[in-house]
Amino acid sequence: MGNAERRKRARFEKSRRLTAKEGDGPSGSAKRKAAGTAADDPVRLFVALDLPEGVRGGLESWQAEALGDPALRPVAAAGLHVTLCFLGRRAAGEVGRIDAILAAIAPRPVELRFDAKPVPLPGGRPGLYALAGHSEAAEALQAELATALTEAALYEPQKRAFWPHVTVARVRSERTPPDPGQRRGRARPKRVLEGPKPLPAELTEPFGCVRIALYRSTLKSEGAEYESLTGIDLPSPAGDRRGDQENGR
């Protein structure tokens, strides 16, 4: 048995023991927040990296100044995160298994930096704008997490390569004129005449992400609502005061 296979088996056994210890149920805050949800009820889940409060606050201030086009809607602070693995709709009873897999991930510093210019997606008539992130540590962490979740049949790997990013603005929708015989036209993003302004220099400096979190996403008419169910704290990279302050160090 090679070293890679030994590591894989050790990670699986640790995850299995943690799950058994919790009785196949969520632990800590995840257990309290999942109260009232039947085990087979579907919930929309994803795992993400949390940004330091200082970075999220800086992005909020930037949004207030940079999103001048009326077609643009800023993403709320609770939605400013780096999605690692979108799990889709899962049974609420599986939260405990996901919690165990996160607990088996070794905490490590995850440094990230943003490009200054927001990226329109898609390029022709964008429906959102995102900040491209650069982080070898985040890419390695995502690969490890995706492997563990895939082995547990909790995640279907994406065909496209992982791209660390934070969605900062969505484009409001409008309806096209209805086709003959139809009552309503199709919804499409409005045209954006003035894209978001670039980030200020201080928001392009590297920073340390502070947590790997499992989120529940509830879709509502005014946008998605996010609730953090469980997760693990991450140590700050050397010299990152923003992460140290948020983690109380």
Among candidates 243, 234, 239, which has minimal Cα distance to 56?
243
d(CA 56, CA 62) in angstroms, rounded, equals 10
Mean pLDDT of 110-136: 96
Are 224 and 217 spatial neighbours (Cβ–Cβ below 8 Å)? yes
Q: What is the pLDDT of residue 248?
A: 54
Which amino acid does the sequence have at 109?
P
Q: Is the pLDDT of residue 17 over 50?
A: no
Q: What is the pLDDT of residues 19-44, one digit of tens each?
A: 333 334 444 555 445 544 667 788 99
Q: What is the pLDDT of residues 77-115, one digit of tens each?
A: 999 999 999 999 999 999 999 999 999 999 999 999 999
Q: What is the pLDDT of residue 163?
A: 96
- Band of pLDDT at residue 12, cut at 50, 70 and 90: very low
Instruction: Output the pTM of the full model.
Output: 0.79
Q: Which domains does the chain have, with CATH numbers?
A: 11-246 (3.90.1140.10)
Structure tokens at 16: 């299995």
Q: What is the pLDDT of residue 32?
A: 46
Q: What is the pLDDT of residues 158-201, one digit of tens each?
A: 889 999 999 999 999 988 777 776 777 788 899 999 999 999 99
Q: What is the pLDDT of residue 187?
A: 84
Structure tokens at 207: 């920073």
Beta-bridge partners for 48: 83, 213
Q: What is the pLDDT of residue 2?
A: 53
Q: What angle do CA 214, 158, 168 make, to 5 degrees?
A: 60
DSSP labels for 135-191? -HHHHHHHHHHHHHHHHTTS----SSPP--EEEEEEEPEEEPPPPTT-SS--EEEPP
Q: What is the pLDDT of residues 194-222, one digit of tens each?
A: 999 999 999 999 999 999 999 999 987 66
Q: What angle do CA 65, 66, 68 make, to 5 degrees?
A: 90
Q: What is the pLDDT of residue 39?
A: 72
**Helix %, strand %, coil % for the chain, to 5?**
30, 30, 40
Peptide bond into 157 cis (omega under 30): no
